[in-house]
Amino acid sequence: MSATIHRGQRGVGLVEILIAVLVLSIGLLGLAGLQLRTIRNNESALERGVAVTETHAIADALRADRINAQNGSFNITLTDAAPTGSTFRETVVRAWRNNLISALGAGATGLINCNGSDCTITIQWDDSRAGGSTATAQQLTTRIQI
């Protein structure tokens, strides 16, 4: 009788191990997906932080040349090419645009619109790595008084 009991139990340990490996594999796949999403979100947060830093950089330049900023000399739209001259304004705006491209990618650009002492600074970049299938263009707009 004891021989028949042992014969009925044969192979049960192997099935239990296979099921445990299957459950563990599914859990590890979920963990890998979560890690991938975390990396994407961290990259997006880093890009937002860089955009804030670049906003502060151009705001300091506007304050350094307050008279020209208030007269609208620094104004540039998102689609305008960076200025090519050698004045302080042209050098600063060109360097700012180049910093945006190097830090945020080839599609990054910036807008400056000063109306008297009220200035609006907008930075736009492509956040497709973090966005997935949603809208990928991100914008950060800051209003300052100079």
Q: What is the pLDDT of residue 10?
A: 66
Model pLDDT for residues 11-61, shown as the tens digit of each residue? 668 888 999 999 999 999 999 999 988 988 898 899 999 999 999 999 999
Q: What is the pLDDT of residue 13?
A: 81
Tokens representing 40 are 């994407």
Is the pLDDT at 130 greater than 70? The verdict is: no
The span from the CA of 114 to the CA of 16, in Å, is 70
Looking at the structure of the chain, the number of domains it has is 1
CA atoms in the 13 A half-sphere facing the CB of 123: 29
The overall longest dimension of the chain from CA atoms, in Å, is 102
The span from the CA of 82 to the CA of 90, in Å, is 8
Q: What is the pLDDT of residue 91?
A: 95
Q: What is the pLDDT of residue 9?
A: 63
Percent of residues, the chain, with pLDDT higher than 70: 87
Mean pLDDT of the chain: 89
The span from the CA of 31 to the CA of 68, in Å, is 54
Q: What is the pLDDT of residue 6?
A: 61
Segment 118-143 mean pLDDT: 83
Q: Please, are residues 63 and 57 in contact by the beta-carbon 8 Å criterion?
A: no
Domain range for 70: 2-145
